[in-house]
Structure 1
């Protein structure tokens, strides 16, 4: 995307994404008008300004969040694919009204925006007479979104098929454009999500400039592969990662490691051994066992402070460290999950006791509803407090807790405003305001 620079501008009470072009770039005023007439279809409204050295386009993104930040907040798998489906519909609409898809600014998810209040996705379109930028590398864009996304995995097979779909386009040397047409994306979503078939005349028609295949200069994808198939609620237990993404454990032994064939494959983690650890269920008890890994498995303590385990009993709330990568182990209630071994009544009583003994690091109380939000792992995010992160810095035997503003437009801690991109230290009993709603942070002793 050489020749295009983007930045956020704050003017009065409005926020704009500014795209600077070369002076020689000619603006297509008919397209400019068409974009603003279709702002309700997912195209950011834009105005054109001409300076002495270049053309400038200003897209109104007031009260919106960059997609690159929004997808970091934990959401359901269905919600995530709903966003991808919205993107497909925007591509389709551009084709329908005669706007070349190549002109959509997809170089980085930070240039695509999401309106949380309207639950709607918006893209920036470049209204150019001649476009030499070729911004719409759809495959790399979707790969980057997928890499940053945090969501609860309810169907590992769906995610695996989606990842394979993106890999096929990104790694195809026959086409370097990385273009995925609206029709191809539509078919993939319906195949992966098993949506009901629609009538032929309702399906999007291929664009005249539709291309096949894709390639990439590099692979930006997240290589973590989830092999488990069942929903979390149907499984006896599940893991929760640093982004609160839930990973179902639907059989035992459950293997974790760098090799792709593991039940939880961390193929992009160099500190993880090929088969690093195993979670098992024996005579009504859950265990985690280190498989002679190079960097060790730890329980309820960081690698630099803890002792490597060989095989230990685990219960709901325990934090398993695969080297320095934390996963919170959780046991499901027996009325919603399949119990593999033992008497249902006995296991239900045991599960209830395990839930009562869950080890929280901290909790956050809503001042109005008095609801408690448990914190089991740092960094911590949740849907109720999207746009902010609670994290912990560790130095030997001391640690400090902080709140970081990722994309929240209104956040203050003990009366001090926390701007987007800033962080502030917090303490047990600390009060903060999130969009005007009061919360109190408490650390477990």
Structure 2
């Protein structure tokens, strides 16, 4: 079974097929079918669509392919293993870029995913349906099952422990918060945390127009802006930070600038924030507006609703509600933190280490002295802290803040989206904060840091 779709392997005329049986009422999306059948080079299995009296049948030719569950049982190098994970991430990214919902990727069990040993290529099946009735993908569970079967020789123990912890944390987060692991999160972890070479930047946000104000009469960009290099980059417009009225932060702590209004959010690619791989998101789901000096979030009649502050199954959907800096809103179950831009936040290009390094270098050139720093206890590298609240790409998902109380002050670390954070041995889950002090130790995805204040 894949979701509630029945799957089986059959042998016909010396060929091997993965068969997916659908209900008769399920309608085939012929446009998606054409995309799938032109995408073998991008990791999707070609599919034949057949009708019977009772149901539709989708046949994927898997002749001369090996089930991934079996392939990973043979001895693999760490490099080869993470190369397979990178291919899976890229397949999901490709689906997103071509408006193929990730729910219809058959990615629950490694036995239903295949590997071309000769070409060293992962291939997956996709259900090209008009209406998405099934949920055949669960990336966290799939990777966990794959990892349990994998036979990796000569692996770096620290790296593998860090990856195993990442999977366990995502499974726990999914159970507790109903938020699944996405290809974006996998890219960020493999590329930014483990340093695995990846073939492309995984996220491209449609180019926003410069300057705050009304969109009336303005045209939408026709295509996403291109990544400027092969680093992990979100490319947006280049208004100065002070020109962006506000910005959003997603669950991976990436910043998305809001340059003008109304700021649209939805599944269609021409939205300012396009969530094209999310079947639970409507074509135009919600908008952020600025009226008489106040920001608002407004649901545009979406099927699954917009929520403010928390996502709970029985909670009442909002229609239009005021947004304050620091509020979290949910596009069904996808969280975003809204922040009013004070003009000192680097929101032009997010996630690029060279940009952040340049910003730090600029601060050093001004003669500004750092007030604290983080010491990586393994590499002995220092991460300077010039101002509070403090964030950086190396430790995405956490914020370090300082609160002054008369002659005293307190420092805290807040977990915004990090799935593996502990302070002095105590776990800090997403949404929680912990007090820290000079000399305090914390673990970020298994990497040890010590916080020091300068005298």
Per the normalisation by structure 1, the TM-score is 0.45
TM-score, with normalisation over the residues of structure 2? Answer: 0.44
